[in-house]
Amino acid sequence: MCEADLVIEVRRLRVLRALADHGTVTAAAEVLHLTPSAVSQQLAALESEVGQELLERRGRRVAITSAGRLLLTHADTILTEVERAEEALRQHASGATGELRVAAFATAISLLVAPSLATLRTTTPGLHLAVRDAEGHQAITQLLDGEVELAIAVEHRGAPSPDDQRLTRIPLYAEPFAALLPSDHPAAARPQIDLTSLAADNWIMTSTGNPIRDVVLLACEQAGFAPRIAHHSDDYTAVAALVAAGAGVSLVPQLALPNPGTAVLRPLAPPTPTRRVYAALRPGQAENPLLKATIEALRKTAAALPLSP
C-alpha cells in the first residue's frame, strides 16, 4: 500500500483507544457496546488500513506495538477534533450557533445594531452578525430577495403594506423629527417651530427614494405647502453644514444628528412627523432562535433610546 492510499476510519481509532485504555478486547467491547468479535474485526481492519501491526497477542491479552502507540498519539488529536466538530454541528442544528445577515440604514446601525451586537457577544456567543448598510427601501428588498435574514427599515408610503404576508414586522421605536435651522433664522429663538413658518425657506432634502424624503414631503403637504428644494444630501452632517451656512432649512430625525454644529435643532409643534422604525423578517424564519435573540436585543436597545415626546 502506498502512502497516498492510506485511509483510516475514525471509528476504528476509537476502538484502538478503548483497547489501550481498558487492556482487553472484552473490556473494550463492553465500553463500546460491541461484541468482542466486532472489536477484533475493527482492529484487524485498522491494521490492514495502516499496513502495520498495531497489536501483539499475548494469550487473552493484547499489547499495543510501537506503531500502535504512535498512531494513538495522533488518534487522540483526531478524536478531539472530531468531537469538537460533532458538538459544533449539534449546536448549529439546535440553532445555538450560526450567522445572521442584517441590513439596516446608517443611523439604525449606530443606534440599534452596533449596541445590540455588543450585547449579543455576551448573551449569544455562538451568533455572528454580518451587517450591511442599506438605505431607503434596499433593506426590505434584500430581505425579500433572500440576501439577508433581518432588515431594519422605516415606514413610508412606498413600503410594503402592513398586511404583506411575505414579512413579519416588529416595531422598534418612533422618532420625532426636529427642525434644523441656521442660527440667525427668525424662528431659531422659538422653543417650538410651527412647520408653516418655514414655507418660504429654501430646503435641504434627502434624495428621491430615501424614506425620510417621503415623510418630510408628507408633513409639508399636510401643513399646506410644497417645500422649495434647493439642495440634496443623504448625509445629515452635510445637511447640518449646509444649514449652518445659510443654504436653507431641513427636518431631521431627532437622534440622527447628535452634533448639529452651529446649526440649531428645534422641536416641532404638533402634529409632529415621525420616523417609525421596525425590524422585518420572513415568516418562515420566525422560530429561528438566533433571530429571536437578535430581535430581543434590538427591542431592549430601542427601549433605552433617549427619545423625547
Do 212 and 154 touch, CB atoms closer than 8 A? yes
pLDDT at 252: 96
Q: Taking all residues of the chain, what is their mean pLDDT, rounded to a whole number? A: 89
- Greater pLDDT, 84 or 273: 273
Q: Does residue 309 have a pLDDT over 70?
A: no
Count of helix runs (H) and strand runs (E) in the chain: 10, 11
- What's the pTM? 0.68
Confidence of residue 117 (pLDDT cuts 50, 70, 90): very high
The secondary structure of residue 241, as a DSSP letter, is H
What are the grid coordinates assigned to 249, written together?
Answer: 432649512
Instruction: State the DSSP string of 157-202.
Output: TTSPPTT-TT-EEEEEEEEEEEEEE-TTSTTTTSSSB-GGGGTTSE
Closest CA relative to residue 246, chosen from 193, 184, 197, 198: 184
| Cβ-contact 268, 193 below 8 angstroms | yes
Report the distance separating Cα 115 and Cα 298, nearest Å. Answer: 8
Q: pLDDT digit string (tens) for 212-261?
A: 998 999 999 999 999 999 999 999 999 999 999 999 999 999 998 888 99
pLDDT of res. 2: 46
Query: Between these two residues, 180 and 25, which has the higher pLDDT value?
Result: 180
Q: How far apart are CA 5 and CA 108, in angstroms?
A: 56
Backbone phi, psi, residue 58, to 5°:
-130, 80
Please state, in angstroms and as integers, the Cα–Cα distance from residue 286 to each residue in 89, 128, 233, 294, 295, following that order. Answer: 21, 18, 36, 12, 10
Kindly state the helix (H) or strand (E) to which residue 251 belongs, with its residue range.
strand 250-253
User: For residue 194, what are the CA distances in angstroms to 136, 190, 226, 257?
Assistant: 27, 9, 15, 20
C-alpha cell at 285: 424564519
Using the predicted structure, report yes or no on whether residue 59 has a pLDDT greater than 90: no
Q: Which domains does the chain have, with CATH numbers?
A: 3-93 (1.10.10.10), 100-173+277-303 (3.40.190.10), 175-274 (3.40.190.10)
Q: Which of 105, 249, 80, 264 is nearest to 175 (CA)?
A: 105
> Which whole number is the average pLDDT over 63-75?
89
Q: Which three cell numbers stand for residue 263?
A: 446649526
Model confidence at 138: pLDDT above 90: no
According to the model, what pLDDT value does residue 92 have? 60
Residue 87: pLDDT above 80?
no
Q: Does residue 242 contact residue 230 with C-beta atoms inside 8 Å?
A: no
CA torsion through residues 87, 88, 93, 94, sign: positive
3-class secondary structure, 132: strand
Res. 83: pLDDT tops 70:
no
Average pLDDT over residues 53-76: 85
CA-CA distance, 198 to 39, in Å (whole number)? 88
Mean pLDDT of 185-203: 95
Average pLDDT over every residue of 105-109: 93
Across the range 87-106, mean pLDDT stands at: 76
Give me the mean pLDDT over the 128-136 stretch.
Answer: 89
